[in-house]
């Protein structure tokens, strides 16, 4: 019995998975392709008396392409195989036990193509790019943000004051870092109310809408309690460490119907995305998160401290923002059937000197977040925020940072520290 049908033409209703696979010593690509399709659909390691012909015909996966040289395997799964509205169970099939088999030396999910019948089961982002722009009134440029640094350690009152300085200096967004929860030195409730007071003050002084991304990551019941506090306080956003809380929690949270937009931090993703021969690509995770309904998603920077090439990160940005994503040699074509786009977030080791490159690579529908690149300014947070705003102004005007810095002291000092 084989799952290989190289003349099979995938149906529009099939879920497609593109694997990179290395067979164990002494085995070939046909062997490993069969094992992948078998384990991720209806088979197991031996023949089964219970595997009836009608079950086989309706539910078996089909390997429809094998590339011996590049070690690619493409598998089509009938949608009947899955509970379409259950993302955790779908991933348990196509990206579950297959990673633990001895019959595969290394395995990586490069991409998934979701069919319309599955996409229509998911709400997608509540706001997306257009909705976030409506909330903020920022339409003609990227957003600028910062992460409070040090990432943990500041008391709630000091945290709120640092946030105020960032907003007053010219940034749109202030974000908690991924591991700031409700520690004894900075309790969630106190941080929420104090920071929102400073947000109101910054809005009054600047005439600009400001955004606070407060981290509600916690065990699910506590996460919901914190979300209720945020909603009652009138804040427009929450932040969730989406990989850490899991696909089930994220899907359930989105279905709760909260009004706040979801800022998705991807902490821990690299545990499965970084190895080029094993795991799951960030591109694949980004597609899942778009379906599950995040409004903002960290995708990398291509510059700064985080790994990831410009080509890879641009591809992720396209996947979460285009309505019809063209296929190429590394990804499937994907129609999103009306699912809203996601605002991309570039964050990790950025400073004002990086702003032009980030915009060139990722365009305007992004959030450029700088933590140390703001708070590490020689004159402090407010001047660091102003330097970021000046760097973006220069880019939007088509003026080099060096030229603009001649008349903008904050930018000049930032460039002297971070780029020399």
Q: Residue with structure tokens 């990586």? A: 108
407 Cα distance to chain centroid:
37
C-alpha 315/C-alpha 328 separation (Å) is 10
Q: Are 302 and 358 in contact (CB under 8 A)?
A: yes
DSSP-based three-state secondary structure for 241: strand
Active-site residue identified among 198, 210, 263, 265: 265
Residue 121 to residue 86: CA distance in whole angstroms: 9
Tokens (6 digits) for 364: 């305007």
Is there a catalytic annotation at residue 151?
Answer: no
Q: Which of 58, 82, 63 is nearest to 2 (CA)?
A: 63
* Identified catalytic residue from 149, 175, 263, 287: 149
DSSP element (H, E) containing 57: helix 53-59
265 noted as active-site residue: yes
Distance (Å) of CA 187 to CA 49, 154, 180: 58, 11, 9
Q: Tell me how far CA of residue 274 lies from CA of 264, 265, 270, 312, 380, in angstroms.
A: 18, 16, 5, 12, 34
Mapped onto helix, strand or coil, the DSSP state of residue 150 is coil
Helix (H) or strand (E) holding 224: helix 220-233
| 31, burial (CB in 10 Å: exposed 0-12, middle 13-18, buried 19+) | middle
75-90: b or e for each residue (b if 16 or more CB lie within 10 Å)?
A: bbbbbebbebeebeeb
Q: What angle (nearest 5°) sits at the alpha carbon of residue 236, between those of residues 230 and 238?
A: 60
| Distance separating the N- and C-terminal Cα atoms of the chain | 64
**Catalytic annotation, residues:** 149, 265
């Amino acid at each position: 019995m084989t799952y290989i049908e190289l003349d099979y033409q995938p149906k529009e209703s099939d879920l497609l998975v593109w694997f990179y696979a290395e067979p164990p010593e002494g085995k070939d690509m046909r062997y490993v392709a069969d094992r992948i399709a078998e384990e991720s659909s209806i088979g197991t390691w031996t023949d089964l008396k219970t595997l009836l012909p009608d079950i086989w015909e309706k539910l078996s996966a089909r390997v429809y392409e094998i590339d011996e040289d590049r070690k690619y395997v493409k598998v089509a799964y009938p949608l009947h195989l899955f509970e379409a509205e259950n993302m955790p169970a779908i991933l348990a099939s196509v990206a579950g036990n297959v990673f633990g088999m001895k019959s595969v030396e290394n395995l990586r999910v490069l991409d998934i193509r979701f069919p319309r019948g599955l996409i229509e089961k998911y709400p997608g982002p509540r706001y997306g790019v257009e909705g976030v722009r409506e909330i903020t009134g920022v339409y003609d440029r990227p957003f600028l943000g910062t992460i409070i640094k040090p990432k943990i350690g500041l008391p709630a009152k000091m945290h709120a004051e640092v946030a105020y300085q960032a907003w007053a200096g010219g940034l749109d967004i202030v974000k908690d870092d991924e591991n700031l929860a409700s520690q004894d030195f900075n309790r969630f409730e106190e941080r929420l109310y104090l920071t929102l007071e400073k947000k109101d003050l910054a809005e009054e002084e600047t005439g600009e809408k400001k955004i606070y991304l407060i981290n509600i990551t916690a065990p699910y019941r506590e996460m919901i309690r914190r979300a209720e506090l945020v909603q009652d306080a009138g804040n427009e956003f929450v932040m969730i460490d989406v990989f850490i809380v899991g696909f089930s929690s994220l899907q359930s949270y989105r279905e709760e119907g909260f009004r706040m937009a979801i800022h998705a931090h991807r902490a821990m993703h690299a545990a499965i995305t970084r190895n080029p021969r094993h795991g799951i690509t960030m591109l694949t995770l980004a597609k899942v998160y778009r379906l599950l309904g995040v409004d903002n998603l960290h995708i990398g920077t291509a510059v700064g401290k985080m790994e990831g090439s410009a080509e890879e990160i641009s591809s992720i940005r396209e996947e979460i923002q285009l309505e019809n994503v063209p296929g190429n040699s590394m990804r499937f074509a994907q129609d999103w059937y009306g699912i809203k786009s996601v605002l991309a977030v570039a964050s990790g080791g950025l400073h004002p000197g990086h702003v032009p490159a980030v915009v060139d690579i990722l365009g305007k529908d992004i959030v450029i977040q700088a933590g140390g690149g703001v708070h590490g300014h020689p004159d402090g947070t407010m001047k660091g925020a102003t330097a970021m705003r000046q760097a973006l102004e220069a880019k939007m005007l088509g003026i080099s940072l060096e030229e603009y810095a001649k008349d903008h002291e904050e930018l000049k000092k930032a460039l002297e520290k971070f780029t020399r």
